[in-house]
Structures are given as C-alpha cells and as structure tokens.
Chain A
C-alpha cells in the first residue's frame, strides 16, 4: 500500500501544475477538485496501512465539505457579465 500512496502523491503534485498556471479560474477549480479526490483516496489507503478506522470518517467528512465548498465557488462565479 505504501507504493500506491507515493504514486498518488506524485500524481497530485503533477496535477497541481494546472492549479498554479491555469488561464481562467475554472481551470484552478478543476485541478483543486481532482487534488482533493486524490487526497481522499490517499486517506483511504493510509487507513489500511496504519490499521486505523477513523481515517475513513475523516475522508467522508472531507468529501462532504469539499462538495459544499465547490458548489459555493461555482455559485459565486456563475453570474453573467454585465454588458
């Protein structure tokens, strides 16, 4: 399980490139969403590695908070431009 955790950390660092240099703000949101899902998977793998169940509860609550935050961001950004 340790090797998979290292692979997923590398994947999340590689997809953080779009978070730094995205042209629009929606690119940064896409990258942030995928990074948070990768972080949830890392928590689920680490709960198997350290034999501790509570990391799964942390993962579920993190997923729900991430969902609420993403919906709030897109509601805030979704207004049309005034012309």
Chain B
C-alpha cells in the first residue's frame, strides 16, 4: 500500500466521522439556526475532506479536475444555500434569532427563556 493511499484513506475516514457527528447534532439541537450550524459541518467539512481524499488518490488525470470542480462548487454553493435558508427563517419570524430578544420587526421586548410556561 502506498503512502499517498494511506493519507487518502485517512482524509476519507475523517470526513465520514465529521458527517456522523454532525448528523447527531442535526438530530439533537433545538433551533433552526443551531441545526444550520450542524448542517454546515456536513456540507463543507465532511464533503470537502472526502473529495480531497479522493483527489489525492488519483494523481494528475482528467478525473482529478472533475473532483476539483465538484469541490469548488460545493465550496461556493452550499454556504449560499445555508444563508438563504436562515434568511427565509428570519423573515418568516416563526423562530427567534436570539432567545433573549424577540423578532426585531416586532416591538422590542425581552423574554426570559428559563421562565416556566
């Protein structure tokens, strides 16, 4: 087994581990914005690690350029999608941006998140 192949397996394993932990966060977090924080780890951290590991494996060919285009598109497009989802959640006003302050378009009030209802 080559040394480069071992390094590529290491990158792919790190990417799979990041994806597993981030999907646990997607299951567990209580709010839309916190779930977006977990989802961005899947979109950029896991995916780019795995694609970089696959790029190392092939050397310099035509396939490497296709992997590089895929990595570059993921690097550009998925933060835009995360931003758009958070913007639509903020404009609809269903969930609060900060737990202390209510929606800024409404009247400015403080609410206590630890208050029992």
**B-binding residues in A (CB < 8 A):** 4, 7-8, 11-12, 14-15, 17-18, 24, 26-27, 29-31, 33-34, 37-38, 40-41, 44-45, 48, 53, 56-57, 59-60, 63-64, 67, 70-71, 74-75, 77-81
Contacts and interface: CB of A to CB of B under 8 A. Distances in A.
Contacts, number: 132
Interface string B65-76: 011011001100
Interface in B5-45: 12-13, 15-16, 19-20, 22-24, 26-27, 32, 35-36, 39, 42-43
A8 to B, nearest CB: 7
Interface of B: 12-13, 15-16, 19-20, 22-24, 26-27, 32, 35-36, 39, 42-43, 46-47, 50-51, 54, 57, 62-63, 66-67, 69-70, 73-74, 77-78, 80-82, 84-85, 87-89, 91-95, 105
B74 A34 contact: no
Contact of B95 (A18, A24, A30): A24
